[in-house]
Structure 1
Amino acid sequence: MKATELRAKDTEALTKELGELLRAHFSLRMQHATQQLSNISQLRKTRRDIARVRTVLNQKAAAK
């Protein structure tokens, strides 16, 4: 997910996307804790996607 794609979305869609990413990250953390996660790099990707979404949300809030 790129920041340019996120900037094209409105705040409601970004908030929904953030919720989905947080749920996915929680699920990945639980899989990792129970040693069911084979691709650990997914944790890093979701964490960075969450940061991107939060950054774009903060930029939109500051612009208002």
Structure 2
Amino acid sequence: MKPAELRDLSEQELTAQIHSARRDLLGLRFQHATGELENTAGMRRAKREIARALTIAKERGIEING
């Protein structure tokens, strides 16, 4: 998601987006560890998406655990 799209989300939607992105990254890490992941650029993209969402959450003062 683009930063502008993330800023339009409500607090609950933003939190859900962060948890979903973290779950996706975990899946990508497992695929990479088992040799199933062909496109490793997806891991970098997922990390950046998490970082963007966490930055916006911090700007709003939302506490994200985990």
The verdict on a shared fold, with TM-score over 0.5 as the criterion, is: yes
Find the aligned partners of 2:34 and 2:4 in 1 and give their Cα distance.
35
TM (norm. structure 1) is 0.93
- Could you tell me which amino acid in structure 2 is paired with residue 40 of structure 1? T
Structure having greater relative contact order (Cα 8 Å, sep ≥ 6):
1
Gap runs ≥5 in structure 2: none
SS at match of 2:59: helix
**Which contiguous aligned blocks of 4+ residues in structure 1 show a shift greater than 2 angstroms?**
none
**Percentage of pairs with the same residue:** 35
Which structure shows the higher helix fraction? 1
SS at match of 2:35: coil
Find the aligned partners of 1:61 and 1:35 in 2 and give their Cα distance.
39
- Structure 2 residue 45 is the aligned partner of structure 1 residue 58: no
TM (norm. structure 2) is 0.90
Matches of residues 1-64 of structure 1 in structure 2 within 5 Å? 1-61=1-61
- Could you tell me which amino acid in structure 2 is paired with residue 56 of structure 1? I
